[in-house]
Chain A
């Protein structure tokens, strides 16, 4: 069991140990869908949904099923994540077809998004209980959204500026991510 307060779990997951900028998880969408603020925001929201659902199912699995078989964790978590992403994909396709097209390949790719799988693993390793897990997932999701939106707004602005041809694209994105990560290091030691 873990006796951290809910607030410290939330704040740590969102800012101090931000999944993208401090733990370097979930980089594919971070590089891929961070070109527009609006898309980034929606991707972040989809991520929050999947993260909360994952946290819930990982807790159920850990408490009731995998108690005596911890070696099956990796396999069962990945099945859960894959099915959840499939469900979210179908729901989004049904209720928001425009968003579905905007997110494109990155929606099914959430299965191989390390942030989501990582959340299940971290939650297990740290022994969070049900409520702590949910708070952790919401914090992590908001943190991902924050990083995505920050990145997207910087990229939108930089599109209009004069950048050398070789730096356009991935190189620049990575350097911006590095600077953002530097900025987030300022939060280290807050908790």
Chain B
């Protein structure tokens, strides 16, 4: 196991190993409920809560969980916190709860959360698991809000319910439909591919210049 500093634990999940954009985990909520920024935020908040609580709990009882049944135990812990999140949203944000519908319950099967438990919380201390969960949670939020932003601005012409373009804007309705989700994520990933390619080309150039000098 490679040693990392606490700040690395926190920062890694935000961009370098972003769960949605790099690792392609938790795609279903990222595509299904990001038609507006508000929905994206509510979904990220619920996921953040479940991820952080499960990481802390699992890393604190990790020595009590037998290896053979660890996945089932993780799932049970996650399901408990999802039930809590579901009830809390229903009580405090009934409108968002209705909008998100079944997707709150579907946080249980978000592979990102289970993945963090298996890959990190089951082997590290409570403090580091907390940092890791917060980092990954922020990364997830960034990805979702980014997608929600693109889709809401193009598809409805508003950002966080604030109209941006005036009355003559013809909304690009397809962006708030499921097809728009696929296309938005596809284009984001293509754009990231372009940046990556340029970075590599620059490095190769620097390399050859260095060799020449």
**B114 in contact (CB, < 8 A):** yes
B106 touches A114 (CB 8 A): yes
Cα–Cα, bound, A173→B189 (Å): 11
Which of B86, B110, B185, B197 is close to A74, meaning CB atoms less than 8 Å apart?
Answer: B86
Mark A residues whose CB is within 8 Å of B: 21-28, 31, 71-75, 78-79, 82, 109, 111-114, 117-118, 121-122, 125, 165-167, 170-175, 177-179, 181-182, 185
Interface SS of A by simple majority: helix
A24-B31, A122-B102, A165-B197 are known contacts. Are A113 and B182 too (CB-CB below 8 A)? no
The answer on a CB contact under 8 Å between A75 and B109 is: no
CB distance from A174 to the nearest CB of B (A): 3
A-B pairs with beta carbons under 8 A, tally: 117
Interface of B is mostly: helix
The reply to whether A113 and B79 form a contact with Cβ atoms under 8 Å apart is no
* B:140-185 near A, CB below 8 Å: 174, 177-183, 185
- For B195, the closest partner residue in chain A by CB is A166
- Using Cβ atoms and an 8 Å threshold, which residues of chain A touch B177? 181, 185
Q: Is B111 an interface residue (CB 8 A)?
A: yes
In chain B, what residue has the closest Cβ to A26?
Answer: B28
From B75, which residue of chain A is reached at the shortest CB distance? Answer: A78
Contact A174 B186 (CB under 8 A): yes
Please name all residues of chain B whose beta carbon is closer than 8 Å to the beta carbon of A75 when the two chains form the complex.
76, 79-80, 83
- Give the bracket for the number of chain B residues in contact with chain A: 35 or more
Q: Mark B15-40, 1 if CB is under 8 A from A, else 0.
A: 00000000010011001100000000
Given contacts A109-B111, A122-B102, contact A23 B178 (CB under 8 A): yes
In this assembly, does B105 line the interface, its C-beta being within 8 Å of a C-beta of chain A?
yes
A122–B24 CA distance with the chains assembled, in angstroms:
25
Binding site for A on B (CB under 8 A): 24, 27-28, 31-32, 71-72, 75-76, 79-80, 82-83, 86-87, 101-102, 105-106, 108-111, 114, 174, 177-183, 185-187, 189-190, 193-194, 196-197
Question: In the complex, A59→B197 CA distance in Å?
Answer: 51
> A26, A79, A109, A178: which contacts B182 (Cβ < 8 A)?
A178
Instruction: Enumerate 25 A-B pairs (CB-CB under 8 Å) in ascending A order.
Output: A21-B178, A24-B181, A31-B24, A74-B82, A74-B83, A74-B108, A75-B79, A75-B83, A78-B108, A79-B72, A82-B72, A109-B111, A111-B71, A111-B75, A114-B106, A114-B109, A114-B110, A118-B102, A121-B105, A122-B102, A166-B194, A171-B189, A174-B186, A177-B182, A178-B186
**Of B24, B72, B109, which contacts A112 at CB under 8 A?**
B109
Question: Whole-angstrom distance between the alpha carbons of A82 and B79 in the complex?
Answer: 12
A48–B114 Cα gap in the complex (Å)?
24
A24 to B108, alpha carbons, bound, how many Å?
16
